[in-house]
Amino acid sequence: MTDAHKIRIFAAVAQSLSFTKAAQSLHLTQSAVSHAVASLERELDGPLLRREGKRVSLTDAGRVLVDHARKIFAAFDEAEAAVKRAARPDRGFLRIGASPAACQYLVPESLREFRESYPEFELSIAVADSPELSRQLHEGLIDLGLMIRTDRDRQLTFHDLFTDELGLLVSPAHPLAREKKVERNRLVDEHFVLYTRTSFTFHLIERHLLKLQIPLRSFTELGSMEAIKELVKLGLGVTVAAPWIASTEIAQRSLVWLRRRARRPAAFNCGADVPGPVPHDGAQLGGLADGGVTKHWDGEDGRCRTRT
């Protein structure tokens, strides 16, 4: 049986295409690296590397071994981690993915509670939008993602964390913030400031507006919710967002949030990379109860109702 240690040495040479660099990375002498590779080639009955002066390249057999070596070492690492988890279930490593907004507004408090419950657990957080988090889940780069539920990917299983609402967020100086009735055609001419179009949130908003026969004609897309809120405060457009994203501004009355009465909520869920059925998603535009008065933007009949 081939020595795994020799395969590790060969893999280091194959990665750097240099015996010298491989020896430095492994803290071995260059002679020891050369002998290990030569011994491995004799055991496998064929050359794995081409040596042309100081240049090193892989043979076809060498490329095949590199591919298998990656799988072998990944299996070793997985086995080691599994044994450690079994021996110490209170210790481990968890890789989480979340959107920039979730990392800013939702994750910190949860992380504090997790740290208190599992002080010896290591955590890493990847910040990305939902489409990128889906890719990272599929490739095994993260263990779970905090993201909007979607029915596009049925290879992921979603576990509901909470049901959220999306609402119309406007400046207090905007006419919509003061009017008791808002005709649907008023929104046709509005300039929207929205989160990047590659996000699931953008597609939810665009799809829902089209359902209400409100074409998204004029909009600015930004990759920062903080920047979006500042533009809305300045009266440079309106946006659609969940209330927790602007909870401070809503409480300070620097922004007004209008709820729409709708039948189906947009759910933010935690996706795990395991096969299973995915619930169907929907979209709800939600709002703010402020000082005993709740304003509703009703996209179905075009009226904004005030309720005490």
Do 134 and 156 form a contact (C-beta atoms < 8 A)?
Answer: yes
Q: Do domains 4-87 and 92-162 have the same CATH topology?
A: no
Beta-carbon count within 10 A of 86 CB: 8
| Topology annotation, domain 165-267+282-307 | D-Maltodextrin-Binding Protein; domain 2 (3.40.190)
Distance CA 33, CA 51 (A): 14
CATH of domain 92-162: 3.40.190.10
Do 61 and 45 form a contact (C-beta atoms < 8 A)?
Answer: no
The one-digit pLDDT tens for each residue of the chain (308 residues) are 567 889 999 999 999 999 999 999 999 999 999 999 999 999 999 999 998 887 899 999 999 999 999 888 888 888 887 887 788 776 777 889 988 888 888 888 888 888 888 888 888 888 888 888 888 888 888 888 887 776 666 788 888 777 777 788 899 999 888 876 666 777 888 899 998 888 888 888 888 888 878 888 889 988 888 999 999 999 999 998 888 888 899 999 999 988 754 444 433 343 333 323 333 333 333 322 222 223 334 333 333 232 32
Pick the CATH number of 4-87 from 2.40.10.120, 1.20.1630.10, 1.10.10.10, 3.40.605.10: 1.10.10.10
- Residue 276 neighbours by CB under 8 Å, 6+ apart: 156, 157
Distance CA 17, CA 157 (A): 41
Distance CA 297, CA 262 (A): 10
What's this model's pTM, rounded to 2 decimal places? Answer: 0.51
Q: With helix as H, strand as E and coil as C, how does 187-235 read?
A: HHCCCEEEECCCCHHHHHHHHHHHHCCCCCCCEEEECCHHHHHHHHHCC
CA atoms within 13 A on the CB side of 164: 21
Sign of CA dihedral 27, 29, 32, 38: positive
* Residue 128, SS3 per DSSP: coil
